[in-house]
């Protein structure tokens, strides 16, 4: 899959290139169902978002959670694709957007660096696939003129399934962050 990637070697030198990235469909170390998510700003990381995903029982217990950081660059690169996807899905959810949920700190094992994300759905069920791609590999690939067709491998991080409504709310919240 080819992805637009923003390359910046200094704050005043920014360019967008299209690079093939191999995002495998298998091999995710985390697979979970989510019925909650929360977003917060990352201190000292301009525009980055800390995203929490969780499964909370009817008794209010957090049974599982996953946390990762999405960079402002990643959000900007995906803005158009997510907007098109949401347009294809249809009407936005009527329920109020709440991004305040946080898992207990004891449930957070690590904070993943997420810089590639795929979305999909079937009926009312939805899925997010989270990946990380080496920034150095992207920079090196952008400098190469040969073997551009050879994709950079993405490391699968997590596959998160949810209701379509929750996925829509998440994407709408992330798109709001792009314009912040």
Cβ atoms 149, 22 nearer than 8 A = no
Classify 47 in phi/psi space as left (phi over 0), alpha (psi -120 to 50) or beta. left
**What percentage of the chain carries pLDDT values higher than 90?**
57
Q: Any bridge partners for residue 41, and if so which?
A: 49
As a whole number, mean pLDDT of residues 81-85 equals 93
Owner of token pair 């939805």:
126
Give the whole-angstrom CA distance, residue 105 versus residue 15.
Answer: 38
Whether the model clears a pTM of 0.75, i.e. scores above it, the answer is yes
pLDDT of 180: 67
As a whole number, mean pLDDT of residues 37-66 equals 94
Chain segment 118-174, per-residue pLDDT in tens: 999 999 999 999 999 988 888 888 777 555 668 888 999 999 999 999 999 999 999
As a whole number, mean pLDDT of residues 81-99 equals 87
Q: Which domain holds residue 19?
A: 2-178
């Amino acid at each position: 899959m080819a992805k637009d990637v923003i390359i910046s070697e200094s704050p005043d030198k920014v360019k967008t290139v299209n690079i093939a990235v191999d995002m495998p469909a298998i091999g995710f170390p985390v697979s979970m169902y989510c019925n909650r998510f929360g977003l917060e700003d990352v201190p000292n990381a301009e525009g980055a978002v800390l995203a929490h995903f969780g499964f909370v029982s009817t008794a209010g217990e957090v049974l599982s959670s996953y946390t990762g950081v999405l960079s402002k660059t990643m959000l900007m690169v995906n803005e158009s694709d997510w907007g098109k996807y949401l347009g294809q899905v249809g009407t936005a959810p009527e329920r109020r957007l709440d991004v305040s949920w946080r898992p207990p700190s004891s449930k957070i094992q690590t904070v993943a660096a997420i810089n590639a994300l795929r979305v999909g759905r079937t009926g009312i069920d939805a899925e997010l696939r989270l990946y990380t791609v080496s920034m150095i590999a992207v920079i090196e690939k952008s400098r190469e003129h040969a073997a551009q067709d050879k994709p950079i491998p993405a490391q699968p991080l997590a596959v998160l399934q949810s209701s379509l409504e929750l996925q829509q709310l998440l994407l709408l919240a992330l798109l709001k962050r792009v314009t912040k």
